[in-house]
Chain A
Amino acid sequence: MHNSFILQQYARGRLVGARATAAPLRELLEGALLRGEECILDFSGVQATQSFVDELVGALILRHGPDILASLIFRSCSDDVRAIIEFVAADRCDQFLKTRAH
């Protein structure tokens, strides 16, 4: 089963920006992921700040580890959004793995 999260409805103009906006969405996302559901993050028509993506995806990685990413699908990302997701994921996975290695 797929849960689809349409980011456009959280945007101001074409940008999803603040951590405070991402946090409640992450809680919904986390609930679905913990129930074993795959989730689609649909970025159609929106740009995102690094902070928003970090609060949405980076915080999940820090809590649950890199494997949580296997249940996430990123849909319709612009080149900018894709680069930000790749940056956040790589950085937070690295941080998680280093913390666990100590």
Chain B
Amino acid sequence: MSTRLVLPPYVSARSAEAVAAFCQQALNAEDDIEVDAQRLKFVDPLGMTMLGATFYSAHEWGASVRVCGLPAEIGGYLRRMDVFEGVELIDCADQPGRRHNRADALLELTRLERTANSDAVAYQIANALVGNFPDVDPDEPPDEMTGYTRFERLVEPLQYALTELLENALTHARRGGYPNANVWVASQYYPSNDLVRLGVVDNGCGFLGSLHGHPELRRETHLDAILTGLRPRVSCNRELGIRNDSVNQGVGLTTTSRIADRAGGSLMIISGDGLHRSIGPSGKMGPEQYWQGVGIALECCRSSLNEVRFRELLPGLEVETPVRLRFE
């Protein structure tokens, strides 16, 4: 016996509700899963990470996943992105010669297990994206005034955002009864509209599980938890006192959202039945639309990345340091 599911045509941040419904159905299946992919037209990095996480979880439980009828023009791309690890592909013809060579613009779906990887992965992704832009030379001499190369100006905001997103995912996801939570990341540059898209997804406790009981959380709903988590200086372990593990300042997600905004883009967050878009509609998703954990899609305009200055992204503070800081 197997459960037959139909993949929606768009597996992307813009259709996150439909993707969440598909993933939830797959995760609720009590037997093997057969996926009808005939209608599939487009998958973005968030969609890849959600699919990858779902297929991985099903595989972990011992269910086999078969994908049928994958259109040839998208199948090769998704295979290159390593979305189908452990998945059996049936009637999914590849079309030699028609597959786009996107080696210059993507980073394959990657699963992270340990916190120590986040620095390396953030650096790898940012470099892979920017280093292969056809008009950017990583070896060009730095600007004499600033000491920066254009390559570095483009890499650093992406690396900064990715580090914060991966740190958040790896530290928060495993709280509240999810010690085995994993994190998936994928990215893609779209030259036709100069957009960089990142997807970071975990299958952990979610915003509500992380902020449960927090004094700043007025209502115990997934959407409220997302919005509370976006407020500066709110974190599940900021106010809990000094612990052996690290404390969080509750600023990383705010800063990441502002990086996307400054770079002409947007942030989308899905957690539980809550969906927040920095541009566009937010709200509670429909019945059976649910993501256990957190999914974040960041989109930004590549040509605006070099305008990001980190000092301009910090939240305002009305307090001063009581001890004079010594800079030299």
Binding site for B on A (CB under 8 A): 12-15, 17-21, 23, 45, 47, 49-51, 54-55, 58-59, 62-63, 66-67, 69-70, 72-77, 79-80, 82-95, 97, 99
Contact = CB atoms under 8 A, between A and B. Distances in A.
A20 B66 CA distance: 38
Interface residues of B, number: 46
A82 B327 contact: yes
Interface in B125-170: 126-127, 147, 152, 155-156, 159-160, 163-164, 166-167
Given A84-B314, A91-B249, A19 B156 contact: no
25 contacts: A17-B118, A17-B163, A17-B167, A18-B116, A19-B115, A19-B171, A47-B310, A50-B249, A50-B251, A50-B310, A51-B252, A54-B247, A54-B249, A59-B246, A66-B323, A74-B328, A75-B328, A79-B311, A84-B310, A87-B251, A87-B315, A89-B321, A90-B319, A92-B249, A93-B322
B122 A93 contact: no
A91 B319 contact: yes
Contacts of B116: 18, 20
Contacts, number: 144
A18 B249 contact: no
A17 B159 contact: yes
A13 B127 contact: yes
Given A12-B119, A19-B167, A69-B325, 12 more contacts: A13-B127, A15-B163, A17-B122, A18-B118, A18-B167, A50-B164, A66-B322, A74-B328, A75-B327, A77-B327, A90-B321, A93-B322
A47 B308 CA distance: 13
B203 interface: no
Interface string B301-327: 000000001110011010111110111
B255 interface: yes
B80 interface: no
Interface in B232-288: 233, 238, 241-242, 246-249, 251-252, 255
Interface of B: 115-116, 118-120, 122-123, 126-127, 147, 152, 155-156, 159-160, 163-164, 166-167, 171, 233, 238, 241-242, 246-249, 251-252, 255, 309-311, 314-315, 317, 319-323, 325-328
A34 to B, nearest CB: 15
B247 A62 contact: yes
B321 to A, nearest CB: 5
B200 to A, nearest CB: 14
Contacts of A92: 249
Most A C-beta atoms less than 10 A away, residue of B166, B252, B310, B317 = B310
A13 B321 contact: no
Given A84-B310, A87-B317, A50 B328 contact: no
A21 B170 CA distance: 14
B326 A72 contact: yes
A62 B309 CA distance: 27
A14 B159 CA distance: 10
